[in-house]
Amino acid sequence: MAKQFTHAVTKDVYTLREDGLVGVRSAATGETGVFTSEGEYVEGDMHYAEMVMCQFVGRSYPADKPPPGARDAHHS
């Protein structure tokens, strides 16, 4: 299951995609967009997303897929 967070105020849903980009769905309009982890627009109807939320979601890695270069805590 993808890592997903809902914005506390806007209720927009931010989802970490398999390709490392952040998908965003607007709770108000239903529009969707795709953004980098820095909040830069990639594609979709939605052209703005909160950078901090994109950073939080886009820089979050599932436990079974750590970021490149991460060391295994059991083998440090």
Any domain includes 74: no
Residues 3-55: pLDDT tens digits? Answer: 899 999 999 999 999 999 999 999 999 999 999 999 999 999 999 999 999 99
Any domain includes 73: no
Task: Measure Cα distances from 38 to 12, 21, 44 in Å.
Answer: 17, 10, 16
Q: How far apart are the first and last CA of the chain?
A: 28
Any domain includes 32: yes
Any domain includes 65: no
SS3 for 51? helix
pLDDT given for residue 74 in this prediction: 43
Residues 41-65: pLDDT tens digits? Answer: 999 999 999 999 999 999 865 545 5
Domain coverage including residue 18: 1-54
Q: In the chain, what is the greatest distance between 2 CA atoms, to the nearest angstrom? A: 47
Any domain includes 60: no
For the record, the structure tokens of 56 come out as 């939080």
Any domain includes 29: yes
Provide the domain count of the chain.
1
Any domain includes 44: yes
Any domain includes 16: yes
Cβ-contact 3, 16 below 8 angstroms? yes
